[in-house]
Amino acid sequence: MASNKKVLVLPGDGIGPEVVGEVRRVVDWMDKRRHVTFDLSEGLVGGAAIDKHGIPLTDETMADAMHVDAVLFGSVGGPQWEKLDFGVQPERGLLRLRKEMQLYANLRPAMVFDALADASSLKKELVAGLDIMILRELTGGIYFGEPRGIETMPSGERRGFNTQSYTESEIERIARVGFELARKRSNRVMSVEKANVMESGVLWREVTQRIHDDEFPDVQLDHMYADNCAMQLVRQPKQFDVIVTDNLFGDILSDCAAMLTGSLGMLPSASLGAEDPTTGARKALYEPVHGSAPDIAGQGKANPIAEVLSFAMLLRYSFDMGEDANMVENAVANVLAAGFRTGDIAGPNDKVVSTTQMGDALLLDCLLYTSPSPRDRG
């Protein structure tokens, strides 16, 4: 039997506990049927941690995250915490995890399953067969730059300010990840910034071009302004393979790409740190792109697929369990092809299933697994 694989589970708020619960069912099944043992621990984050401890992430939970092989994250936030001071709002727990684990590379795939091509807000011919990867720099940029704050000016008017900044080394390492990903895909990178109006964008373009010329000349590199990229994603999305961009633009563009797939409930993500020079292991956190959706929390309406696909990425990137990742991804493709739909991806004539019913269908398909992952098909 394979050695225990340590995973910290942080369900969080809203629909987080519901969708994470479906992944735990898959984990339990794998423990029994796939000859692999996961050592799962669980902690509080976001509003759940605020309610119990007064802060969105305790030092103890942070320490736990630093000493496991991977973190599986649900979602954070909700209207009951919106009036708290900015520094203790639920989202600060997730930002602390990303920063202290040094998770600088955020992989956000957007793949349209054949069965859902009609669910996209775009015409079917524009999205059928879509498979793009948005690589977002995660620990720099305007979300972490200093100075930041809200101040009262001498006139009495208040001013809010944030700082967008990147160092050469921060740009170099995310660019390298992008080029390495492209080599395993269609060998094309689109670097996205706003070099026409932002000095940080000028540096981003210069450094990315240099890394390409010196280390990855075999990969096709193009540059695009972020606003144009947003337009092109909804105009002709299949022109892209790997999009490499900064923290802010990556946040926006990945949500834009979500609607190409039909729903935020379909998009997983992986946040990876640097390789340990001795073990080769990376600290990693896996989470769905969607938020906490407090309006449907606790009603059995949440789509668990993004969380399940995030678990597939965990298997692939943290444990090198490609065959098991294929099994999970294949199950998602099959249940969608069989017509299972949660409300967010249902058409007018589709039968809507609950969160648990979708989980039941996924587990049943895992039992019958024989085929390769959708991404491995020719």
Q: Which helix (H) or strand (E) holds 68?
A: none
- Please state the rounded mean pLDDT for residues 289-300: 94
28 is catalytic: no
List 241, 251, 324, 344, catalytic entry? 251
Active-site position among 255, 350, 360, 369: 255
Q: Which of 237, 261, 285 is the last residue of a domain?
A: 261
Do both 128 and 255 map to the same domain? yes
Q: Provide the terminal-to-terminal Cα distance of the chain, rounded to the nearest Å.
A: 33
Nearest-CA neighbor of 192 among 204, 180, 209? 204
Query: Could you confirm whether 255 is annotated as catalytic?
Result: yes
From the candidates 13, 69, 104, 194, which is the catalytic residue?
194
- The burial of 167, by beta-carbon neighbours within 10 Å (0-12 exposed, 13-18 middle, 19 or more buried), is given as exposed
- Region of residue 141 (phi > 0: left; psi between -120 and 50: alpha; otherwise: beta): left
CB 11 within 8 A of CB 20: yes
Predicted TM-score (pTM) of the model is 0.85
User: Active-site residue among 104, 143, 166, 286?
Assistant: 143
Q: Is residue 376 flagged as an active site residue?
A: no
| Residues 15 and 138 placed together within one structural domain of the fold | no
Please pick, among 227, 238, 350, 369, the residue that the annotation labels catalytic.
227
Count of domains observed in the chain = 2
Same domain, 106 and 34: yes
Q: Which two tokens stand for residue 368?
A: 């019958």
User: Model confidence at 375, in pLDDT bands (50, 70, 90)?
Assistant: low
Spatial contact of 362 and 331, defined as CB atoms under 8 Å apart: yes
Contacts of 120 (CB under 8 A, 6+ apart): 112, 126, 127, 259, 260, 261, 262
Residues 176 and 243 in one domain: yes
The CA distance from 82 to 50, in Å, is: 12
Which band of pLDDT confidence, cut at 50, 70 and 90, is reported for residue 33?
A: confident
Which residues are CB-contacts of 118 (< 8 A; sequence separation ≥ 6)?
Answer: 124, 347
Whether residues 105 and 217 share a domain: the answer is: no
> Which residue range forms the structural domain that includes residue 173?
121-261
Does the active-site annotation cover 194?
A: yes
Q: Which two three-digit tokens encode residue 140?
A: 């720099």
CATH number of the CATH domain containing 348: 3.40.718.10
- The reply to whether 184 and 250 lie within a common domain is yes
3-class secondary structure, 160:
strand
Of 261, 294, 318, the domain-final residue: 261
- Tracing tokens 């895909």 back to the chain, one arrives at 185
So what's the pLDDT on residue 3?
62
Check whether residue 125 and residue 8 sit in a common domain: no
My answer on whether 144 and 255 are in the same domain is: yes
Active site residue 214: no
Q: How far apart are CA 94 and CA 79, in angstroms?
A: 17
How confident is the model over 122-177, as pLDDT tens digits?
A: 899 999 999 999 999 999 999 989 999 999 999 999 999 999 999 999 999 999 99
Give yes or no: residues 245 and 288 share one domain.
no
- Percent of the chain surpassing pLDDT 70: 97
Is residue 121 predicted with pLDDT exceeding 90? no
Rg (CA), the chain: 20
